[in-house]
Amino acid sequence: MQKDRHLKIEKIGHHIPEFPGYRAVNFNETDRQLRHFLHRRLDEIRDDLRESIEGLPSGGAPRQALADCLKRLEEIGKRLEEPLSSQAEASATRDQEEALLDFDLNLLDKTAALSTAVGDISRQGGGPATQTLLTSLIEDLGDLLQRRAQMLEGL
């Protein structure tokens, strides 16, 4: 399990340099680092999505559906700005850290998939398949963030 922990921290560290894990320092600082990184990535994804929407014909259903996705991403971004209301001195057990690292890796994967899907809009348009994929990825991302926040607040 310890070896697995180091691999997970190393993978996250490729995105967030000097990522310490949740047991090395107060987990609130680690959480802040991850939320800050995700917020920046979502800002980039929203900018790309906004540009893609502007390139679509006005008044069409794809444009409105993608605008709804953009709005949902903005809501998720606002949630990432809010610090958790947890105890300042709380710490994570080994099992809790393992679960948090799994959430973090899933969040990074979902964010990468979302970025790819938004990039595909300019090549494939904003048709129903793209809309469904984006909606699904955004819902998954929001759900992961909610479950992760609940876990952190329970520490």
pTM: 0.84
- pLDDT tens digits, 47-70: 999 999 888 888 878 888 999 999
Neighbours of 93 (CB within 10 A): 11
Q: Which amino acid is at 149?
A: A
Q: Which amino acid is at 154?
A: G
Distance, in Å, from the CA atom of 26 to the CA atom of 32, rounded to the nearest integer, reads: 10
- pLDDT tens digits, 5-48: 888 888 888 888 877 777 766 677 888 889 999 999 999 999 99
DSSP single-letter state for residue 56: S
**Sequence-distant (≥ 6) Cβ neighbours of residue 96 within 8 angstroms:** 22, 151, 155
Distance, in Å, from the CA atom of 75 to the CA atom of 18, rounded to the nearest integer, reads: 28
Distance, in Å, from the CA atom of 150 to the CA atom of 154, rounded to the nearest integer, reads: 6
**Which CATH number describes the domain made up of 2-153?**
1.20.1420
- pLDDT tens digits, 84-120: 665 555 677 888 888 999 999 999 999 999 999 999 8
Give the per-residue pLDDT at 26: 67
Q: Please tell me which residue, 74 or 60, carries the higher pLDDT value.
A: 74
Tell me which residue has tokens 């710490």.
Answer: 91
Give the per-residue pLDDT at 9: 84
Give the per-residue pLDDT at 17: 81
Q: Which two tokens stand for residue 71?
A: 């709005």
